[in-house]
Chains A and B, each alone.
Chain A
Amino acid sequence: MTDLSTRDWLLSAAPTTRRQARLGALYQGWLTFRSNRLAMLGLIILVLLALMAILAPDLAPYSPTAQNLADRLQPPSARHWLGTDALGRDILSRIIWGSRVTLFIVGTVALISPIIGLLIGTIAGFAGGWVDQVLMRITDIFLAFPKLILALALVAALGPGIVNAVLALAITGWPPYARLARAETLAVRNADYIAAARLQGAGSFRLLVGHVWPMCISSMIVRVALDMAGIILSAAGLGFLGLGAQPPLAEWGAMISDGRTYILDHWWVAAMPGLAIFIVSLAFNFLGDGLRDVLDPKGGAE
């Protein structure tokens, strides 16, 4: 099959199989996404970030933890592109290795929060009655909490560390997803196709998993993409406070905290990891905007 005919097959207005229709819809979404230049830029940056995390041992010119006190606080140069920190560690290498920590935290939080939210929201919306009342009341309580402060208190109770930081961010992050999933569930709960499935003998569990969840997925994905930047910033904030990844693990927020003491004379120690955080969260914001245009045309009205 040549390229042209693949394209025609994908864009066919009269798909003959279910698979063709599905792939065709995906392809059209991709075309919309591709036409958004900033979204593409965001995607490229994130792909590079992922590659950087995977290839960290090969890319990093130095070890992220090797100390070299003779070379401490060196400004950016040909030998150390982004300079060195107070222990003589190469900042570029630490940023490269730090991308793994960042991706780990963001990835797990962005997986756990929406799943908790999806479960609670769809159950509340589908069950209705007092179950709905109770679940949504709990959601409201968490929603009314200042997120960062709650995360701080949680980490204080659980003890600092990367896993507890993820846990704290996930626990503070799920309520908006629950709201969203509930709204989507209410919208389809009384739809004819649900009634039809019910008449065919589908149980509540099957209805929920097979017929309600798929309707929630696209709006959830958009929300996740738009939340990613916020998760990165919160994670970096926890790291900055010394509550995230513990030394000597390289984490961008903690690296900024290390450079704080030297900010007036050796600005690069704090500036470089901050730039990394900024670029990555900007990329997620670009990507989120682009995805919203594709998956949720109503929301991207502007």
Chain B
Amino acid sequence: MSASDTTAGGRPAPSPGPVSSGPTPAPGGSGRTARRARAVAGVVLSLLLTLLGLLLVTFVIGRVMPIDPVLKVVGERATPAQYEAARQAMGLDKPILVQFVAYVGDVLRGDFGRSISTGHPVAEDLRRVFPATLELASIGTLIGVLIGVPLGVIAAARRGGWIDQVARVVALIGYSMPIFWLGLMGLLVFYGILGWVGGPGRQDIIYDGMVPNVTGLVLVDSLIAGDWGAFRDAFSHIILPASLLGYFSLAYISRMTRSFMLEQLSAEYITTARVKGLSERRVVWGHALRNIAVPLVTVIALSFGGLLEGSVLTEIIFSWPGIGSYITKTLLAGDMNAVLGGTVVVGVCFIALNALSDLLYKLLDPRSR
């Protein structure tokens, strides 16, 4: 592993600056493929190590908790013999390393143990709640990209103009606002006072279970079933929480877009394009924006991961039956299997998104080849 591999992990904000400044060797056919293969191998190796680290951390958290897992199973009044038997059955008498290997094996097989609060296997619960979070975070990211990118581009192109000022204030407020509070205020105004959107939850009760479950995404499922009423209902429920998440993603995406664009707009090829007589519109949207596509994809992937996490608090406010609600509900019940299972799943998504953006960066950006 070379020293540069250590920087391959979760990089919060990749700089679009020159990655390799030295003279790039002429791209020969096989050398290039080998370099690409090495880049991919580096990312994969780093991904695997990080995943192992994730499991190690959740394993340790599961061990340090003051709740005795054996006691939870056998109850307070068990005899020492019963307690010992249960302890051995759970494998807790084995060396810690053996326990960890067993834990990793279980997780790889998709076995997170049984949830005490729901009575189902945790994996089954997670499969049920995950699509709700996925749907919310996807729509949120979509909103963030559709508004954030143009906002950032215009702010950079008209630097110091009123759109730039607005974008700055919007982002600053986004960075300073507690998301759960904004959610509550949104519910108060748009649901309580104006009545424009549906209330908490994913659907109104009358539509519950009316649409056959195909993907687990209510919007998609209702479209597949061709049920417009259900679609409208689901849309009126998701639009507020998704806009909320979208706002936070917009704050981040617009700032990053702006700084990427500023860097490009001061480059010489932009001056060349202007001197050539290209319209400002083509210079900005055609030349500069195209060149920030790669770092932008990275930012969007990271922001999507952030929304998966940010949805924890949002889901609680909106009684959204997703993974965030699941983790917090089981957490308050002291149900560690469920909490750690949920943590692993969100962590894996997060790490996978990180690795994906890393990989895209290495494969798509000619400067990093």
Contacts and interface: CB of A to CB of B under 8 A. Distances in A.
Contacts of B354: 144
Nearest to B343: A153
A104 B179 CA distance: 22
Interface in A189-209: none
Nearest to B312: A148
B309 A148 contact: yes
Contacts of B184: 256, 259-260, 263, 270-271, 274
Contact of B54 (A133, A144, A236, A264): A144
Given A149-B312, A150-B57, A140 B9 contact: yes
Counting chain B CB atoms within 10 Å of each CB, which of A132, A133, A141 scores highest?
A141
Contacts of A158: 64-66
B61 A154 contact: yes
B91 interface: no
A263 B187 contact: yes
B347 A145 contact: yes
B259 A153 contact: no
A241 B328 contact: yes
Contact of B327 (A149, A277, A284): A149
A285 B174 CA distance: 11
A157 B178 contact: no
A134 to B, nearest CB: 10
B34 interface: no
Nearest to A289: B172
Interface in B160-206: 172-173, 175-182, 184-185, 187-188, 192
Contact of B343 (A149, A242, A256, A271): A149
B350 interface: yes
A136 B62 CA distance: 24
Contacts of B58: 153
Contacts of A152: 312, 327-328, 331, 339, 343
Contact of A281 (B53, B61, B176): B176
B151 interface: no
Nearest to B6: A136
B350 A140 contact: no
A282 B172 CA distance: 7
B308 interface: yes
Nearest to B9: A140
A146 B9 contact: no
A143 to B, nearest CB: 4
Nearest to A154: B61
B313 to A, nearest CB: 5
B97 interface: no
A302 interface: yes
A81 interface: no
B346 interface: yes
6 contacts: A148-B310, A152-B343, A153-B340, A241-B313, A242-B332, A271-B184
Interface of A: 132-133, 136-138, 140-150, 152-154, 156-159, 176, 229-230, 233, 236-237, 240-243, 253, 256, 259-260, 263-264, 267, 270-271, 274, 277-278, 281-282, 284-285, 302
